[in-house]
Amino acid sequence: MHGSPGLLLLLAWTVCLSLGCSRQRAVPDFDEDEAFAYLKQQCDFGPRIPNSQAHRRCEDYLYDKLAATTNVCRRQKFTYYDADVGDTLYLTNIIASYNPDDNQRMLLCAHWDSRPWADEEPDSSLHHLPVPGANDGASGVAILLVIAEILKEHQPPSGVDIIFFDGEDYGEPGKPDKWLLGSKYFVKNIGGYRPLYVILLDLVGDADLQIHKEYYSQAYAGWLVQRIWRAATLEEARHFYPDVKHVVLDDHRPFQEIGISAAVIIDMDYDYWHKLSDTPDKCSAQSLGEVGRVVLRLLYDKSL
């Protein structure tokens, strides 16, 4: 091929743009250090268990963070009466929308509460103590807080909603009605809202990250799982594995039960699950960054 160097450079740049060679122009960067700071900030409030001061303070913090990124942000207040202990829980889902006029919508979600009981501790005398919830709760929220800031600066190709669910981790073994309180309430009152798909983030900050495909996600939203793993391949996400390994009851299930495609990105191979040792030092910015980049690829890469 012959021609002037300037003309060749211009042609090469034009081809690169047309093929999407510049990842930065197609998919915004994800700040993993900022995500880790958000994880630690949530833990600094203390365990975010319903009706506690830490829960109330963290609720205000998360609402203010989301409200700073969009004009469409609200709190969905609800209560749950626990007949076993005769107590009413005061709970809040926090909901934000981006590119709100687009009818084609994607929902990203995580739970922001932490477990009231460390019932996986080997020492049963510790079971009554609340869990810090660094990975189990704060990690997914931390990623979505960074993504919310990105959505403010870079309008996504389609509409995006973010929900922080409350009361996910209140459940007890053998009592399924006590789990997933926030997502169940949202779905019960969903009205005409029908996102194209739901992606749930849970336990995504483990320093020893191992993301496997989850059974219900594969069974009820196989096409979405395939899309997530395609995005992971493009992002060279080394800790996403192709096998189905765990069956997980989580906030994606209420959506699946009403026919909405939903998948969870989760690492259940976490030694500190529902233990007092679920603290920020067991998590890493690199893990948050890997998952965050995969989610951004899903939102911004039209070729998927």
DSSP string, 145-158: HHHHHHHHHS--SS
The Cα 62–Cα 287 span in angstroms is 21
Say if residues 94 and 62 touch (Cβ distance below 8 Å): yes
pLDDT of residue 175: 86
- Mean of per-residue pLDDT scores for the chain: 93
Name the 3-class secondary structure at 84. coil
**Sign of the four-CA dihedral 137, 181, 95, 129:** negative
Say if residues 288 and 32 touch (Cβ distance below 8 Å): yes
Is pLDDT of 13 > 50?
no
Backbone angles phi, psi at 250, to 5 degrees: -150, -175
pLDDT of residue 258: 98
User: What tokens were used for 110?
Assistant: 């995580």
13: Cβ contacts below 8 Å, ≥ 6 apart: none
Is pLDDT of 208 > 90?
yes
Is pLDDT of 7 > 60?
no
Averaged pLDDT, 133-138: 98
pLDDT of residue 8: 43
pLDDT of residue 176: 81
Q: Report DSSP state, residue 169.
A: G
Averaged pLDDT, 59-74: 98
pLDDT of residue 249: 96
Averaged pLDDT, 204-219: 98
Q: Report DSSP state, residue 137.
A: I
pLDDT of residue 231: 98
pLDDT of residue 121: 98
Which of 21, 30, 24, 72 has the alpha carbon at shortest distance from 201? Answer: 30
293: Cβ contacts below 8 Å, ≥ 6 apart: 27, 30, 235, 237
Name the 3-class secondary structure at 134. helix
The pTM (predicted TM-score) of the whole model is: 0.92
Averaged pLDDT, 66-92: 97
Averaged pLDDT, 160-184: 94
pLDDT of residue 161: 98
Which residue is it, tokens 């704060």?
138
Is pLDDT of 89 > 70?
yes
Q: CATH: 3.10.20.80, 3.40.1350.10, 3.90.550.10, 3.40.630.10. Which one for 31-300?
A: 3.40.630.10
Is pLDDT of 100 > 90?
yes
How do beta strands 159-165 and 105-111 pair? Answer: parallel
Is pLDDT of 47 > 50?
yes
Is pLDDT of 42 > 90?
yes
pLDDT of residue 12: 45
CA angle, 197 then 97 then 153, to 5°: 105
pLDDT of residue 23: 40
Query: What is the identity of the amino acid at 82?
Result: D
Query: What is the identity of the amino acid at 150?
Result: I
Residue 212 CB-half CA count within 13 A: 13
The Cα 257–Cα 252 span in angstroms is 9
Is pLDDT of 203 > 90?
yes
Is pLDDT of 1 > 50?
no
Is pLDDT of 286 > 80?
yes
pLDDT of residue 21: 44
Domain ranges of the chain: 1-27, 31-300
Residue 58 CB-half CA count within 13 A: 34
Say if residues 161 and 107 touch (Cβ distance below 8 Å): yes
| Structure confidence by residue, pLDDT tens digits, 227-256 | 999 999 999 999 999 999 999 999 999 999
Is pLDDT of 303 > 60?
yes
pLDDT of residue 173: 82
